[in-house]
Amino acid sequence: MHKILIVDDEPMLIHGLCSQIDWESYNIELAGTAENGEIALSILEQKNIDILFTDVRMPKMDGLTLISEAKKHNPFLRSVVISSYSDFDYVKKSLLLEVENYLLKPIDQNELDKTLEKTIANLDRDRISILQDESGLSDFKSNILDRWVHGEIQDYQFYERAELLHINLSAPWYQLCVIDIIDSSTESQKLLHAQLLFKKCRDYFFSDIEGECFIDRSNRVVIVFYGDELNRRQDQLKQIFNKVSADLSTRGVKLFACIGSASDSAESVAHDYAEAVSFLNYRFIVPGVNFVLYGELLREFDRLGCKPALIQFAQSLSSNELLTTLNIANEFLDTVSIYPVDTVKKCMIPFLTTLVKQIKESGHTSGSMSSAAIKEFAAMKTINSMGSLEKWFLDIIDQSLELINNRKESFHLLVRRTLDIIRKDYNHTDLSLKRIASNLKVTPAYLGQLFKEETGKYFNDYLTEIRLQESRILLLETDMKIRDILYCIGISNQSYFNRIFKKAYGMSPLNFRYQK
C-alpha cells in the first residue's frame, strides 16, 4: 500500500482531504499530516513516504523547498502541489521539480481522482525499476497529455496547463497516431520497448512536423501532430512510420499503428484517441500489416449510414444478447448487400474490431487472443462472394459470443460479481467501488486493485463507459429528454454528462441524436 503525507497550513483543507477521500480505495495509506515544511521534512526523514501533497506557500519552509529537500532523501518520491489561483505564476517553478500535477484550490474532485490514479501508475512503474531518463517536465507533461487524450481534464484546467507546457491549442489541424508494441511477454518489457519507441518517434517524426509524444497508461506511444497541411502529409507519415518500424524490428520489437484523419479542432483529440485504440484490433482482421489509416475506413462506413447499427451492435454484445446481436447483424447485411464485396468488407471492419475488443475485455488481461480465433477473423480476406461473406460474418459473431462467455470464467470470482453488479445497477447514482466492496466483504483497495489488474480498467472508468454506451442507445432509439436519460444511466449532473459525452464521442448528446 502506498503512503501519503499531506502538508498545508490550512487546517480545514487538511481535514477535508483526510475525511472526505476514501484513501483505502486507491490502495493508499494516510501516513500523516503537517502544517509546515519543517515538520513535514522531519516526518519524511523518519518514514518511507511515496506521495507528498503540499501547499506552495507556508511558514518556515515553503512547499517547493520541501519537495527539493525531500527528494534528497527519496529520489522516487512523487509530489503534487496544492496552490491557489494567485500562486499560478509562482507554481511554474514546481515543474522543474517534476511534480505530478498541481491542484488549484478549491480542489476539483475529478481532478484529484485522475491525479491519484496517474501518480499510482507512475509509482508502479518505479517499482519495476524502469526509469524515464527525460528531465524537466516529463512526468507532469505526460500526465496532462494522457488525461487530455482520455478526456479526463476540464477545458479551463487543460488550457492553463497547455500554456505552461507550450502545447499548441490553436493549430489549424490535429492528427492522432497510437502505436502499440505487440508480442511483449510482460508489461515491464512492453514499457522498456515503449521508451525505446518514444525516443525513436521524437527523432524521426519531429524533425519537420510539430506535435507532442508520450507513453500512455497502457504503455502505448501516442503522438498528437499539429500544424497546417497535415491532411497532405499522409504519405510522409507512412514513410516515417515504416522507418521507425524497420528500425525497431532489428531489435526484435514489433509495432502496429493506427493513424487517424486530420481534424480542425483540439477538442476532437479524446474522441480520435478512443477510435484509434479500438482500431488497434485491425491487425487481427487484416494480418501482415503494421499500420492502418482508419479514418479512410470510417469515411466509407459513415457515408453508407452504418454507425447506428454499430452502436446497437456494441450494446447488445456488451449485454451478451445473442439473438439481438444476430438480428442487428442481419439488418446491417440487408442494408449493405447492394454494394460490391470489397465495400461490404470495409464496412464490416468496425463491427469486427468491436468483436475483438469485446473478446479481449471479456476475460483476464493476461489472456490473449487464441491462434484459432485469430485465424477465423483473418479468413475474411480470402472470401470473394457475397453469400459466403454473409455466412462467415454471422458465424464469426456466433463463435465470438461463445468465446466471450468462456473467457468470463477466467476472471476472479470477485471481479465477475462486480461486473454483474455494474451491469445490473449502473443506473444507481450511489453505485461505487466502496459500496460493492462492502457487499462482497472485502476492502475497496483490494477490490479496486484486483479489478484493474484483471480488466485493465479502473472501476470508475469502466462504470462511466457502461453508462455512456447506454446513453447512446437511449439517444438513438428514444425521444427521451436528456434529464430523463440521466436518471436511466445513474448520472445526476447534466453539465458533467454533456462534457464526458462530448469528450468520448466528439459531439454533444443532442448533436449525436440529430446526426444519427
150-156 mean pLDDT: 79
pLDDT of residue 470: 93
pLDDT of residue 444: 87
Do 422 and 463 form a contact (C-beta atoms < 8 A)? yes
Does the structural domain 168-301 have CATH classification 3.30.70.270?
Answer: yes
Strands 2-7 and 51-55, bridge-based pairing: parallel
51-64 mean pLDDT: 88
pLDDT of residue 135: 39
Do 497 and 484 form a contact (C-beta atoms < 8 A)? no
- Distance of alpha carbon 439 from alpha carbon 454, whole angstroms: 20
Place of cell 507513453: 215
**Nearest CA-CA partner of 31 in 62, 11, 53:** 53
Three-class DSSP category at 476: helix
The secondary structure of 56-102 as a DSSP string is: SS-SSS-HHHHHHHHHHH-TT-EEEEEE-GGGTTGGGGGGGGT-SEE
Residues above pLDDT 70, as percent of the chain: 94
pLDDT of residue 516: 62
pLDDT of residue 344: 93
pLDDT digits (tens, 9 = 90+) for 300-309: 888 888 888 9
Q: What are 451's three cell numbers?
A: 479489478
pLDDT of residue 439: 92
- Distance of alpha carbon 198 from alpha carbon 62, whole angstroms: 35
pLDDT digits (tens, 9 = 90+) for 230-255: 877 888 888 999 999 999 998 889 99
Do 297 and 350 form a contact (C-beta atoms < 8 A)? yes
Reply yes or no on whether the pLDDT at 129 is more than 50: no
126-135 mean pLDDT: 46
- Distance of alpha carbon 463 from alpha carbon 291, whole angstroms: 31
pLDDT of residue 86: 58
365-370 mean pLDDT: 70
Question: Which long-range contacts does 285-288 make (Cβ < 8 Å, 24+ apart)?
Answer: 285/349, 285/352, 285/353, 285/356, 285/377, 285/378, 285/380, 286/349, 286/378, 286/381, 287/374, 287/378
Q: What are 364's three cell numbers?
A: 483476464
Domain boundaries, the chain: 2-135, 168-301, 304-410, 413-515
- Distance of alpha carbon 507 from alpha carbon 501, whole angstroms: 7
- The CATH architecture annotation of domain 2-135 reads 3-Layer(aba) Sandwich (3.40)
Reply yes or no on whether the pLDDT at 3 is more than 60: yes
131 DSSP 8-state letter? -
- Distance of alpha carbon 335 from alpha carbon 350, whole angstroms: 15
Reply yes or no on whether the pLDDT at 131 is more than 50: no
Predicted confidence band at 87 (pLDDT cuts at 50, 70, 90)?
A: low
Reply yes or no on whether the pLDDT at 97 is more than 90: no
pLDDT digits (tens, 9 = 90+) for 347-358: 999 999 999 999
Predicted confidence band at 138 (pLDDT cuts at 50, 70, 90)?
A: low
Reply yes or no on whether the pLDDT at 132 is more than 50: no
pLDDT digits (tens, 9 = 90+) for 459-515: 988 999 999 999 999 998 899 999 999 999 999 889 889 888 888 888 889 988 887
pLDDT digits (tens, 9 = 90+) for 402-458: 888 888 888 899 999 999 999 999 999 999 998 999 999 988 888 988 898 888 888
pLDDT of residue 201: 92
Predicted confidence band at 368 (pLDDT cuts at 50, 70, 90)?
A: low
Radius of gyration of the chain (CA): 24
pTM over 0.95: no
Stronger pLDDT, 386 or 98, i.e. the higher one = 386
Reply yes or no on whether the pLDDT at 136 is more than 50: no
CATH class of 413-515: mainly alpha
Provide the mean pLDDT of the chain.
86
